[in-house]
Structure 1
Amino acid sequence: MMKIAIAANKKGKVLKEKVKAFLAERHYEMMDQSSSDIFEATMNIVEAIKNKTADKGIVIDEYGVAPFMISTKNHGIICAPVYDDYTSKMTRMHNATQIITLGSAISAEPFACQLALNFAESEYDGGRHQVRIDMLNKMV
């Protein structure tokens, strides 16, 4: 069973609960790592990915930008803010993204749930994309 770590601050809490329930209904094991501080919530997800206690991570705040910036400052972490169906799938498939961020002020509940599911169901394609991933992992 895939383990997904999820976290939110107070601005993302309501949406986080909806996304968490939606993915749990689809048999994903959910690990809630929330904190009132977005930096701490994001770092909880980063650590879960680094320590391999979770397979993928989702962080939710008001716009999805702060957790994206925080995540990408960590060596070996690839994170993407997602706002549409295409990027929620392709960022995992082509970029080996481990964490996505969602914005509670940007994505309505049913749409955010679908974006999270797209990410959860997507797998990394590897192949020609691995060159870019190797370059990314040499940074930071």
Structure 2
Amino acid sequence: MKIAIGSDHGGFFYKEKIKEYLKSQKYEIIDKGTYSPEPVDYPYFGEEVAKSVAEKEAEFGIIICGTGIGISIAANKVKGIRAALCTNEFMARMARSHNDANILALGQRVIGLDHAFAIIDVFLNTPFEGGRHERRVKLILDIENQNL
């Protein structure tokens, strides 16, 4: 499975550690930057990961900034993206099973690294339930199609 990953400077340390972790789990990683801890603007990296997922270059994306908020807002501006900011495993499970989220957003200044790994594991291993949730995801897509 291919996973696109990106961060700003506020998430750079976690991005590098998450890449190592995912590679050890045999995932293929597409690094969309940033490539150093020098200050940069998070919207660029949220968009790059989102485009990678929307264009099917990667199956899922992981984006990281200081809180996860800004970069998730930027990613969600790309058509076809459902980026979910998750701070615990329950949120990651619900994001995937109920919302069919395709990008996980994390905040380096909000959660510990081991906790981030646990959230990632749940996100990547939880299938979309479909059923009644399909109708709701379709409603989200309808809103997207009317506005993007």
TM beyond 0.5: yes
Superposed CA RMSD: 1.1
Superposed, 1:49-68 pairs within 5 Å as 49-68=53-72
Aligned residue identity for 1:12: G
Aligned partners of 1:33, 1:71: CA distance in 2, in Å? 13
1:26 partnered with 2:25: yes
1:15 is matched with 14
Spell out structure 1 runs of 4+ moving beyond 3 A.
Answer: none
Q: Contact between 2:92 and 2:122, CA under 8 Å: does it hold in 1?
A: yes
Aligned partners of 1:21, 1:9: CA distance in 2, in Å? 18
Structure 2: which 5+ runs fail to align?
Answer: 35-39
Q: Contact between 1:10 and 1:61, CA under 8 Å: does it hold in 2?
A: yes
Q: Contact between 2:54 and 2:78, CA under 8 Å: does it hold in 1?
A: no
Aligned partners of 1:76, 1:19: CA distance in 2, in Å? 24
2:124 is matched with 120
1:133 partnered with 2:128: no
TM-score normalised by structure 2 residue count: 0.90
2:100 is matched with 96
Aligned partners of 2:114, 2:64: CA distance in 1, in Å? 14
What is the aligned length? 139
Q: Contact between 1:18 and 1:113, CA under 8 Å: does it hold in 2?
A: no
Q: Deviations over 1:74-101 (max 9, x none)?
A: 2221111000111112211110000111
Q: Contact between 1:95 and 1:124, CA under 8 Å: does it hold in 2?
A: yes
Structure 1: which 5+ runs fail to align?
Answer: none
Q: Contact between 1:75 and 1:139, CA under 8 Å: does it hold in 2?
A: no
Aligned partners of 2:51, 2:75: CA distance in 1, in Å? 10
For 2:49, what is the secondary structure of its paired residue? helix
TM-score normalised by structure 1 residue count: 0.94
Q: Deviations over 1:33-66 (max 9, x none)?
A: 1133211101111110111000000100000000
